[in-house]
């Protein structure tokens, strides 16, 4: 008897992307698309109801983003392996996703064959990284410890806006993310800097040289 197909949940806010992915996996018997979701909140709900083996997760979506959804799935004890599929490969996207629990990280220029291989590998518990993402992670690991910031690029962006007096809502608007995402980044900043509020976080960041004070007119 052939093995049961891998149960796949597709999460992306673009219907065309979801349709394309469904078409890719509809031509074989090794992967079965059991559902779709257009944002992170729906992804958590669908994953809870459908119990997929693997989730293809976009990151930047309106409402609840992919990283928040990955964290929520981990908090709920979901057994699904989360494989990020996105357009972005910057520090501020890659690191939070992996820290949240993603088992792999691919870009949307991956071929159908690469996607199938990645899904099989993720289902078996292996890690799959796009070449640019693997290079980024290796580059960070090779840096001397003194040069490594405890904060991700996005966390630094949020903290810099807070230092300039922006509210969570204003920071969210400038970064094109949800207010909930900004709050999550700030909670991580507090934990990493071992502080309890915004003012203390900003002070600690200046003290450690993570933020630079702006000169007159700067």
Whether residues 72 and 49 share a domain: the answer is yes
The answer to whether residue 215 sits within a structural domain is no
pLDDT at 213: 62
Whether residues 164 and 62 share a domain: the answer is no
Beta-carbon contacts of 180 under 8 Å, excluding residues fewer than 6 positions away, are 64, 68
pLDDT at 214: 55
The answer to whether residue 218 sits within a structural domain is no
Residue with tokens 């997929």: 52
Whether residues 119 and 169 share a domain: the answer is no
pLDDT at 171: 92
Whether residues 105 and 162 share a domain: the answer is no
Distance CA 53, CA 70 (A): 14
Distance CA 218, CA 214 (A): 5
Whether residues 186 and 112 share a domain: the answer is no
Whether residues 157 and 62 share a domain: the answer is no
For residue 174, the Cα-to-chain-centroid distance in whole angstroms is: 19
Tally of domains in the chain: 2
Query: What tens-digit pLDDT sequence spans the chain (218 residues)?
Result: 667 899 999 999 999 999 999 998 877 678 999 999 999 999 999 999 999 999 999 999 988 899 999 999 999 999 999 999 999 887 778 888 988 899 999 999 999 999 999 999 999 999 999 988 888 788 777 665 545 567 888 888 999 999 999 999 999 999 988 999 999 999 999 988 888 999 999 998 888 888 876 544 43
The answer to whether residue 124 sits within a structural domain is yes
Domain that holds residue 178: 149-207
Q: Where are the beta strands (DSSP E) in the chain?
A: 6-11, 31-37, 54-57, 81-86, 104-107, 128-129
pLDDT at 80: 96
Rg of the chain over Cα atoms, rounded to whole angstroms, equals 19
The answer to whether residue 174 sits within a structural domain is yes
Task: Write out the two tokens for 107.
Answer: 């870009």
């Amino acid at each position: 008897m052939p093995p049961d197909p891998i149960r796949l949940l597709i999460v992306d806010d673009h219907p065309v992307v979801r349709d394309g992915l469904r078409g890719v996996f509809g031509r074989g018997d090794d992967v079965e698309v059991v559902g779709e979701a257009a944002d992170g909140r729906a992804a958590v709900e669908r994953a809870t109801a459908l119990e997929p083996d693997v989730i293809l997760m976009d990151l930047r979506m309106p409402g609840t983003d992919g990283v928040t959804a990955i964290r929520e799935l981990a908090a709920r004890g979901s057994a699904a392996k989360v494989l990020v599929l996105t357009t972005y490969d910057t520090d501020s996207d890659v690191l939070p996703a992996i820290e949240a629990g993603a088992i792999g990280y691919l870009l949307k220029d991956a071929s159908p064959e690469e996607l199938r291989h990645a899904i099989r590998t993720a289902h078996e518990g292996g890690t799959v990284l796009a070449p640019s993402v693997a290079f980024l992670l290796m580059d960070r690991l090779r840096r001397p410890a003194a040069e490594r910031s405890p904060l991700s690029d996005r966390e630094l962006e949020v903290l810099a806006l807070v230092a300039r007096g922006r509210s969570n809502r204003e920071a969210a608007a400038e970064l094109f993310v949800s207010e909930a995402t900004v709050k999550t980044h700030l909670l991580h900043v507090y934990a990493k800097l071992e502080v309890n509020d915004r003012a203390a976080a900003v002070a600690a960041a200046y003290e450690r040289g993570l933020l630079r004070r702006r000169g007159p007119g700067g």
